[in-house]
Amino acid sequence: MRHINIDNSNSNQRVDRFLMKLMPKMSKNHIQKLIRTKKIKVNKKRTEPDYDLKIDDVVNIYLYDEVIEKYQDNKIYTADDFNLDIIYEDDDLILINKKTGVLSHAANPQDYGKNIVDMMVSYLIKTNQFKPTQNSTFTPALVNRLDRNTSGIVVGAKTYDSLKYFNDLFKKHEITKIYETIVVGNLKDQTIDLALEKDNDKNKSVINSSGKKSMTKVWNVKNFGKYSLVNVDLLTGRTHQIRAHLSHINHPIIGDIKYGNREVNKYFKNKYDLNFQLLHSYKLVFPEKMGKYQKYESMVFESKRDDLFEKILNDLESKYD
Protein backbone atom coordinates (compact mmCIF):
# COMPACT_ATOMS: atom_id res chain seq x y z
CA MET A 1 0.00 0.00 0.00
CA ARG A 2 0.99 3.64 -0.39
CA HIS A 3 0.24 6.84 1.46
CA ILE A 4 0.93 9.90 -0.68
CA ASN A 5 1.25 13.34 0.89
CA ILE A 6 -0.27 16.15 -1.15
CA ASP A 7 1.77 19.34 -1.52
CA ASN A 8 1.54 22.44 -3.71
CA SER A 9 2.83 20.53 -6.74
CA ASN A 10 -0.27 18.32 -6.95
CA SER A 11 -3.05 19.98 -4.92
CA ASN A 12 -6.22 21.63 -6.30
CA GLN A 13 -7.29 18.72 -8.50
CA ARG A 14 -9.87 15.96 -8.27
CA VAL A 15 -8.65 12.84 -6.57
CA ASP A 16 -9.63 10.64 -9.54
CA ARG A 17 -7.58 12.85 -11.91
CA PHE A 18 -4.66 12.72 -9.49
CA LEU A 19 -4.86 8.92 -9.54
CA MET A 20 -5.09 8.82 -13.34
CA LYS A 21 -1.73 10.60 -13.44
CA LEU A 22 -0.29 8.28 -10.83
CA MET A 23 -1.50 5.21 -12.72
CA PRO A 24 -2.03 6.29 -16.36
CA LYS A 25 -2.45 2.71 -17.55
CA MET A 26 -5.53 2.25 -15.36
CA SER A 27 -8.92 3.30 -16.73
CA LYS A 28 -10.95 6.06 -15.12
CA ASN A 29 -13.79 3.62 -14.43
CA HIS A 30 -11.41 1.26 -12.64
CA ILE A 31 -10.06 4.11 -10.50
CA GLN A 32 -13.56 5.29 -9.57
CA LYS A 33 -14.52 1.73 -8.65
CA LEU A 34 -11.51 1.52 -6.31
CA ILE A 35 -12.65 4.76 -4.66
CA ARG A 36 -16.23 3.52 -4.27
CA THR A 37 -15.06 0.21 -2.78
CA LYS A 38 -12.77 2.06 -0.33
CA LYS A 39 -9.57 0.63 -1.79
CA ILE A 40 -8.56 4.28 -2.08
CA LYS A 41 -9.25 6.84 0.65
CA VAL A 42 -8.20 10.36 1.59
CA ASN A 43 -6.95 10.93 5.13
CA LYS A 44 -8.03 7.33 5.84
CA LYS A 45 -11.65 8.28 5.22
CA ARG A 46 -14.01 7.37 2.43
CA THR A 47 -13.95 9.92 -0.38
CA GLU A 48 -15.63 10.70 -3.70
CA PRO A 49 -13.99 10.77 -7.15
CA ASP A 50 -14.65 14.52 -7.48
CA TYR A 51 -13.08 15.45 -4.13
CA ASP A 52 -10.58 18.32 -4.61
CA LEU A 53 -7.26 17.51 -3.00
CA LYS A 54 -5.78 20.07 -0.62
CA ILE A 55 -2.27 20.65 0.67
CA ASP A 56 -1.48 18.22 3.54
CA ASP A 57 -4.13 15.71 2.47
CA VAL A 58 -2.92 12.11 2.36
CA VAL A 59 -4.13 9.76 -0.36
CA ASN A 60 -4.27 6.19 0.95
CA ILE A 61 -4.00 3.46 -1.68
CA TYR A 62 -4.73 -0.01 -0.34
CA LEU A 63 -3.15 -1.96 -3.20
CA TYR A 64 0.07 -3.95 -3.37
CA ASP A 65 3.03 -1.93 -4.67
CA GLU A 66 3.50 -4.30 -7.60
CA VAL A 67 -0.12 -3.66 -8.64
CA ILE A 68 0.40 0.11 -8.52
CA GLU A 69 3.66 -0.17 -10.48
CA LYS A 70 1.92 -2.28 -13.13
CA TYR A 71 -0.31 0.69 -14.00
CA GLN A 72 2.39 3.37 -13.87
CA ASP A 73 4.28 4.90 -16.78
CA ASN A 74 7.86 4.92 -15.58
CA LYS A 75 9.68 7.30 -17.90
CA ILE A 76 13.32 7.62 -16.90
CA TYR A 77 14.85 11.10 -16.77
CA THR A 78 18.51 11.93 -16.30
CA ALA A 79 19.92 14.80 -14.26
CA ASP A 80 21.29 17.34 -16.72
CA ASP A 81 20.98 21.09 -17.24
CA PHE A 82 21.44 20.90 -21.05
CA ASN A 83 22.89 24.45 -20.87
CA LEU A 84 19.38 25.88 -20.73
CA ASP A 85 19.08 29.63 -21.24
CA ILE A 86 16.95 30.43 -18.18
CA ILE A 87 15.38 33.89 -18.20
CA TYR A 88 13.56 33.68 -14.87
CA GLU A 89 12.86 31.07 -12.21
CA ASP A 90 11.08 30.75 -8.87
CA ASP A 91 9.11 28.08 -6.97
CA ASP A 92 6.19 28.14 -9.43
CA LEU A 93 7.56 29.02 -12.87
CA ILE A 94 10.63 28.71 -15.05
CA LEU A 95 10.97 30.80 -18.23
CA ILE A 96 13.36 29.47 -20.86
CA ASN A 97 14.69 30.99 -24.08
CA LYS A 98 14.17 28.22 -26.65
CA LYS A 99 16.65 28.07 -29.50
CA THR A 100 15.67 27.65 -33.13
CA GLY A 101 15.45 24.00 -34.18
CA VAL A 102 14.56 22.68 -30.72
CA LEU A 103 11.17 21.01 -30.20
CA SER A 104 8.89 22.19 -27.40
CA HIS A 105 7.60 18.64 -26.79
CA ALA A 106 8.91 15.24 -27.85
CA ALA A 107 7.52 14.03 -31.18
CA ASN A 108 8.51 10.43 -30.38
CA PRO A 109 10.34 8.49 -27.61
CA GLN A 110 13.65 8.88 -29.46
CA ASP A 111 13.51 12.66 -28.95
CA TYR A 112 14.68 12.51 -25.32
CA GLY A 113 16.93 15.45 -24.58
CA LYS A 114 16.05 17.11 -27.89
CA ASN A 115 13.01 18.99 -26.59
CA ILE A 116 12.43 21.68 -24.00
CA VAL A 117 10.20 19.57 -21.74
CA ASP A 118 12.85 16.89 -21.21
CA MET A 119 15.59 19.49 -20.81
CA MET A 120 13.54 21.38 -18.23
CA VAL A 121 12.63 18.29 -16.21
CA SER A 122 16.23 17.04 -16.27
CA TYR A 123 17.44 20.44 -15.07
CA LEU A 124 14.90 20.42 -12.21
CA ILE A 125 16.05 16.93 -11.21
CA LYS A 126 19.69 18.03 -11.23
CA THR A 127 18.90 21.04 -9.03
CA ASN A 128 16.81 18.89 -6.62
CA GLN A 129 13.60 20.75 -7.44
CA PHE A 130 11.84 17.70 -8.84
CA LYS A 131 12.09 14.09 -7.67
CA PRO A 132 10.20 11.67 -9.95
CA THR A 133 10.04 8.97 -7.28
CA GLN A 134 8.27 11.36 -4.88
CA ASN A 135 6.28 13.51 -7.34
CA SER A 136 4.80 10.57 -9.19
CA THR A 137 1.55 12.28 -10.24
CA PHE A 138 2.86 15.58 -11.54
CA THR A 139 5.72 16.27 -13.90
CA PRO A 140 6.64 19.90 -14.62
CA ALA A 141 5.19 20.91 -17.97
CA LEU A 142 5.13 23.75 -20.48
CA VAL A 143 2.31 26.28 -20.35
CA ASN A 144 2.88 27.50 -23.91
CA ARG A 145 4.71 26.08 -26.91
CA LEU A 146 6.59 27.36 -29.93
CA ASP A 147 7.12 25.72 -33.31
CA ARG A 148 10.47 24.00 -33.84
CA ASN A 149 11.82 26.86 -35.98
CA THR A 150 10.49 29.68 -33.80
CA SER A 151 12.82 30.80 -31.02
CA GLY A 152 11.96 32.63 -27.83
CA ILE A 153 10.25 32.43 -24.47
CA VAL A 154 8.51 29.29 -23.26
CA VAL A 155 6.95 29.12 -19.79
CA GLY A 156 7.29 26.02 -17.65
CA ALA A 157 5.10 25.30 -14.62
CA LYS A 158 6.64 23.57 -11.60
CA THR A 159 3.33 22.86 -9.86
CA TYR A 160 -0.05 21.56 -10.95
CA ASP A 161 -1.77 24.71 -9.68
CA SER A 162 0.51 27.09 -11.59
CA LEU A 163 0.10 24.94 -14.71
CA LYS A 164 -3.70 25.26 -14.53
CA TYR A 165 -3.62 28.97 -13.75
CA PHE A 166 -1.19 30.02 -16.48
CA ASN A 167 -2.72 27.67 -19.05
CA ASP A 168 -5.96 29.55 -18.51
CA LEU A 169 -4.24 32.94 -18.90
CA PHE A 170 -2.69 31.91 -22.20
CA LYS A 171 -5.98 30.46 -23.50
CA LYS A 172 -7.79 33.70 -22.68
CA HIS A 173 -4.97 35.74 -24.31
CA GLU A 174 -4.47 37.67 -21.08
CA ILE A 175 -0.69 37.38 -21.41
CA THR A 176 0.71 39.68 -24.09
CA LYS A 177 3.08 37.88 -26.47
CA ILE A 178 5.31 40.07 -28.63
CA TYR A 179 7.27 38.52 -31.49
CA GLU A 180 9.90 40.07 -33.71
CA THR A 181 10.71 39.16 -37.27
CA ILE A 182 12.30 40.48 -40.45
CA VAL A 183 9.94 40.82 -43.40
CA VAL A 184 10.13 41.76 -47.05
CA GLY A 185 9.27 45.40 -47.84
CA ASN A 186 8.49 48.55 -45.85
CA LEU A 187 5.56 47.45 -43.69
CA LYS A 188 2.98 49.97 -42.46
CA ASP A 189 1.71 49.71 -38.88
CA GLN A 190 -1.66 47.95 -38.87
CA THR A 191 -3.93 45.35 -37.32
CA ILE A 192 -4.58 42.43 -39.66
CA ASP A 193 -8.10 41.06 -39.18
CA LEU A 194 -8.44 38.11 -41.56
CA ALA A 195 -10.08 34.79 -40.72
CA LEU A 196 -7.90 31.70 -41.16
CA GLU A 197 -8.75 28.14 -42.10
CA LYS A 198 -6.39 25.17 -41.71
CA ASP A 199 -5.61 23.18 -44.87
CA ASN A 200 -4.71 19.87 -43.26
CA ASP A 201 -3.52 18.29 -46.52
CA LYS A 202 -0.89 21.00 -46.99
CA ASN A 203 -0.39 21.70 -43.26
CA LYS A 204 -0.97 25.34 -44.06
CA SER A 205 -3.31 28.13 -42.94
CA VAL A 206 -5.21 30.02 -45.65
CA ILE A 207 -7.31 33.19 -45.61
CA ASN A 208 -10.99 32.25 -45.66
CA SER A 209 -13.92 34.38 -44.51
CA SER A 210 -15.62 31.28 -43.11
CA GLY A 211 -12.56 30.38 -41.05
CA LYS A 212 -11.70 31.25 -37.45
CA LYS A 213 -11.36 34.90 -36.45
CA SER A 214 -7.68 35.83 -36.46
CA MET A 215 -6.13 39.16 -35.48
CA THR A 216 -2.50 40.22 -35.61
CA LYS A 217 -1.15 43.66 -34.70
CA VAL A 218 2.08 44.55 -36.52
CA TRP A 219 4.31 47.62 -36.44
CA ASN A 220 7.52 48.60 -38.15
CA VAL A 221 10.46 49.00 -35.78
CA LYS A 222 13.05 49.84 -38.43
CA ASN A 223 13.16 49.79 -42.21
CA PHE A 224 16.22 48.67 -44.17
CA GLY A 225 15.14 49.50 -47.70
CA LYS A 226 13.98 46.13 -49.02
CA TYR A 227 13.37 44.71 -45.54
CA SER A 228 11.92 45.72 -42.16
CA LEU A 229 12.37 44.67 -38.56
CA VAL A 230 8.80 44.18 -37.36
CA ASN A 231 7.16 43.59 -33.99
CA VAL A 232 4.03 41.45 -33.78
CA ASP A 233 1.36 41.26 -31.08
CA LEU A 234 -0.50 37.97 -31.47
CA LEU A 235 -4.10 38.83 -30.51
CA THR A 236 -5.42 35.35 -31.34
CA GLY A 237 -3.53 32.09 -31.57
CA ARG A 238 -4.18 30.25 -34.84
CA THR A 239 -1.81 27.83 -36.57
CA HIS A 240 0.89 29.73 -38.50
CA GLN A 241 -1.11 32.93 -37.92
CA ILE A 242 1.79 35.40 -38.04
CA ARG A 243 3.32 33.79 -41.11
CA ALA A 244 0.04 33.51 -43.03
CA HIS A 245 -1.09 37.06 -42.23
CA LEU A 246 2.23 38.69 -43.13
CA SER A 247 2.41 36.70 -46.36
CA HIS A 248 -1.12 37.75 -47.34
CA ILE A 249 -0.32 41.47 -47.01
CA ASN A 250 2.79 40.96 -49.18
CA HIS A 251 5.31 41.22 -46.34
CA PRO A 252 6.40 37.59 -45.93
CA ILE A 253 8.97 36.62 -43.32
CA ILE A 254 12.44 36.05 -44.76
CA GLY A 255 13.41 32.39 -44.77
CA ASP A 256 9.79 31.20 -44.60
CA ILE A 257 9.72 28.28 -47.03
CA LYS A 258 5.98 27.61 -46.68
CA TYR A 259 4.63 31.18 -46.90
CA GLY A 260 7.59 33.22 -48.11
CA ASN A 261 9.09 34.73 -51.26
CA ARG A 262 11.12 32.15 -53.18
CA GLU A 263 13.73 34.56 -54.56
CA VAL A 264 14.25 36.28 -51.21
CA ASN A 265 14.58 32.93 -49.48
CA LYS A 266 17.14 31.81 -52.06
CA TYR A 267 19.24 34.93 -51.43
CA PHE A 268 19.31 34.44 -47.65
CA LYS A 269 19.87 30.71 -48.02
CA ASN A 270 22.93 31.29 -50.20
CA LYS A 271 24.36 34.07 -48.05
CA TYR A 272 23.53 32.84 -44.53
CA ASP A 273 22.45 29.22 -44.98
CA LEU A 274 19.04 30.31 -43.65
CA ASN A 275 16.47 27.56 -44.13
CA PHE A 276 13.74 28.58 -41.66
CA GLN A 277 11.61 31.64 -40.93
CA LEU A 278 13.21 34.34 -38.77
CA LEU A 279 10.61 34.54 -36.02
CA HIS A 280 11.43 35.16 -32.36
CA SER A 281 9.03 35.35 -29.39
CA TYR A 282 11.00 37.95 -27.49
CA LYS A 283 8.64 39.48 -24.92
CA LEU A 284 5.91 38.37 -22.48
CA VAL A 285 3.87 40.84 -20.43
CA PHE A 286 1.81 39.48 -17.55
CA PRO A 287 -1.58 41.06 -16.63
CA GLU A 288 -1.98 43.87 -14.09
CA LYS A 289 -4.29 41.76 -11.90
CA MET A 290 -3.41 38.13 -11.15
CA GLY A 291 -5.25 37.17 -7.96
CA LYS A 292 -3.36 34.56 -5.95
CA TYR A 293 -0.36 34.97 -8.25
CA GLN A 294 -0.13 38.72 -7.63
CA LYS A 295 3.66 38.48 -7.33
CA TYR A 296 3.74 38.32 -11.15
CA GLU A 297 1.48 41.31 -11.80
CA SER A 298 2.70 43.49 -14.70
CA MET A 299 5.99 41.61 -14.93
CA VAL A 300 7.79 41.84 -18.28
CA PHE A 301 10.21 39.22 -19.61
CA GLU A 302 12.47 39.55 -22.64
CA SER A 303 14.81 37.13 -24.41
CA LYS A 304 17.84 37.41 -26.68
CA ARG A 305 17.66 36.63 -30.38
CA ASP A 306 19.42 33.58 -31.81
CA ASP A 307 22.88 34.24 -33.24
CA LEU A 308 21.80 33.95 -36.88
CA PHE A 309 18.90 36.38 -36.41
CA GLU A 310 21.31 38.82 -34.75
CA LYS A 311 23.89 38.40 -37.53
CA ILE A 312 21.38 39.09 -40.33
CA LEU A 313 19.92 42.07 -38.47
CA ASN A 314 23.37 43.57 -37.85
CA ASP A 315 24.29 43.17 -41.51
CA LEU A 316 21.07 44.90 -42.62
CA GLU A 317 21.68 47.75 -40.18
CA SER A 318 25.26 48.17 -41.42
CA LYS A 319 24.15 48.18 -45.05
CA TYR A 320 21.24 50.60 -44.77
CA ASP A 321 22.18 52.91 -41.89
Residue 91 designated active-site: no
| Full DSSP string of 205-221 | EEE-TTSB--EEEEEEE
Positions of E strands within 62-214? 86-89, 93-98, 141-142, 151-157, 176-184, 190-193, 196-199, 204-207
pTM of the model: 0.79
Q: Which of 119, 124, 163 is nearest to 8 (CA)?
A: 163
pLDDT digits (tens, 9 = 90+) for 19-28: 998 888 899 9
CA atoms of 288 and 29, how far apart (whole Å): 42
- Cα 47 from chain centroid (whole Å): 34
Annotated catalytic residue, options 7, 80, 85, 147 = 147
Instruction: Name residues whose C-beta falls within 8 Å of residue 240's C-beta, 6 or more positions apart in sequence.
Output: 204, 205, 258, 259
Residuewise pLDDT in 10s, the chain (321 residues): 888 888 877 888 999 999 998 888 899 999 999 999 999 999 999 999 999 999 999 999 999 878 887 887 766 667 777 889 999 999 999 999 999 999 898 766 566 667 899 999 999 999 999 887 666 678 899 999 999 999 999 999 999 899 999 999 999 999 999 999 999 999 999 999 999 999 888 889 999 999 999 999 999 999 999 999 999 999 998 999 999 999 999 999 999 999 999 999 999 999 999 999 999 999 999 999 999 999 999 999 999 999 999 999 999 998 876
Domains and CATH numbers, the chain: 2-71 (3.10.290.10), 86-172 (3.30.2350.10), 176-320 (3.30.2350.10)
CA atoms of 162 and 94, how far apart (whole Å): 11
